[in-house]
A and B are shown apart, each in its own frame.
Chain A
Amino acid sequence: MRRFFGFALVVGLTLAGCGEHRPTVPQQDVIYDPYEAGNRQVHAFNKGLDRALFKAREGQPRSRDTLLTRSFSNAGGNLSLPGKVVNSLLQGRPEPAIKNTFRFVINSTLGIGGIFDPAGSSFSLPETDTDFGETLAVWGAQEGAYMELPFFGGSTERDALGSVVDIALDPVGQVLEGAEATGAMALTLGGKVAKRKRFGETVESVYYDSADSYAQERLLYLQMRRHQLAGEETNDEEAWDPYEDPYAE
């Protein structure tokens, strides 16, 4: 009997422990950044890399939304869809999985290997963005500390692990071999470069116009990421009301 109680206690504690791992909506303005010193060094590296490779020259437009950049970012984005489908399924969300599957099929065929986006323009099937970091969040993993990763930019401990898993488990990488796999990798990379140039105005205003580009990138990343993971849910209690703000009075 005593043994049974001991067992029940263990089970009870385990369940209680599980309960505590429910995903909580992180507080809007809370930034947990214990690795700030190291992160700032990585930021300086990323910024130097961006300045050397991508920064628009004086007098040139920062954003390049041309047929070329659009085709590359479409094709690169198309290759990321199978991985997103897998993640949606792991999250127990069939609807985005089905939509992204149709999107992948339509754009790979009618859109000629994903260069064009007929799924988005004619079939109302815009991409539903997701990744393994979101899967971890759905499974109950906490956000963890903020991290800036070399080459990847803003992240968190949870999202950093997610990025590693996404690369390792990418279905496209599993199916393709040899030259095809290399080609797919090159296209994915090209898509990322094209995206950097398409949204150059946004990237460069944060990097080169901010008084503290590290703090600004950190804020933007956490806000966008938390918004994405929470879906439409917003926490009214934490809404910023300057008319109640003591500094505003």
Chain B
Amino acid sequence: MKKPGIPMKTPMRNDRRQLILGAGATVLAAGLLRPGAAFALTDAEARELVSRAVNDVNAAIASGKTGPGLYAQFEAIFTKYADVATIGRSALGVAARQASASQMSAFTKAFRGYISRKYGQRFREFIGARFEVEGARKVKTFYEVKTVAHLRGQAPFEVLWHVSDRSGKRLFFNVIIEGVNMLAAERTEIGAMLDARRGNIDALIADLKNAS
């Protein structure tokens, strides 16, 4: 399970696990008081979701499609496995509270296309890549699935997937590549776009439809 070359970190993480176990009773009580917040998702389910998503992504890359064809396929995968509404709302930040329901739905749609184009363009870099699912663990209300990406001619690197079923479906809502957090990056990006449009959400939505 453990990769070589990182021997110092195991004890710290174990200490933290102990701490989490120590706090377990409190969490359990809170869970019982709020049945909606209970963990319905299991370790195996979270792993399985990531494995399926990774397989679909590998198949899309192997299909040999490029450009808009590949982006469309990626958008379909993204819609199937990711909680786009939650990612979008989180990226929009405080502004999401002021937005109307119709603005939010238009924003979510535009955001999905934007994300697909933005990350779809980068998928060429993953040709020949292999993802290994290493394990899953519970964090707060969700599961973190750890995978290691093996790319041609590069040192293997860590990709973490955050998976939750709080939307009613098992979906991932964040991907963290070597510490780089997609939600945080998109929050910075969407925040900057919104600032540049003086907080006008409709202008943001219009421009997001063409952004990549």
Give chain A's interface residues, CB within 8 Å of chain B.
Answer: 28-29, 63, 65, 70, 93, 95-96, 99, 117, 120-121, 124, 126-128, 201-202, 205, 209-212, 215-216, 219-220, 223-224, 226-228, 231-234, 236, 239-245, 247-248
Contact = CB atoms under 8 A, between A and B. Distances in A.
Given A95-B7, A211-B196, A117 B153 contact: yes
A78 to B, nearest CB: 14
A243 B166 contact: yes
A240 B160 CA distance: 13
B78 interface: no
B49 interface: no
Nearest to B17: A236
A117 B208 CA distance: 42
B174 interface: yes
B179 A219 contact: no
B5 A96 contact: yes
B85 to A, nearest CB: 9
Task: Place the interface of chain B in its size category.
Answer: 35 or more
Contact of B141 (A209, A220, A226, A244): A244
Given A70-B153, A239-B140, A247-B96, A223 B184 contact: yes
B179 A228 contact: yes
Contact of B140 (A96, A202, A236): A236
A232 B158 contact: yes
A242 B141 CA distance: 10
Contacts of A236: 16, 20, 139-140
Contacts of A212: 188-189, 192, 195-196
A233 B8 CA distance: 10
B6 A223 contact: no
A228 B86 CA distance: 28
A211 B118 CA distance: 13
Contact of A241 (B6, B97, B141): B141
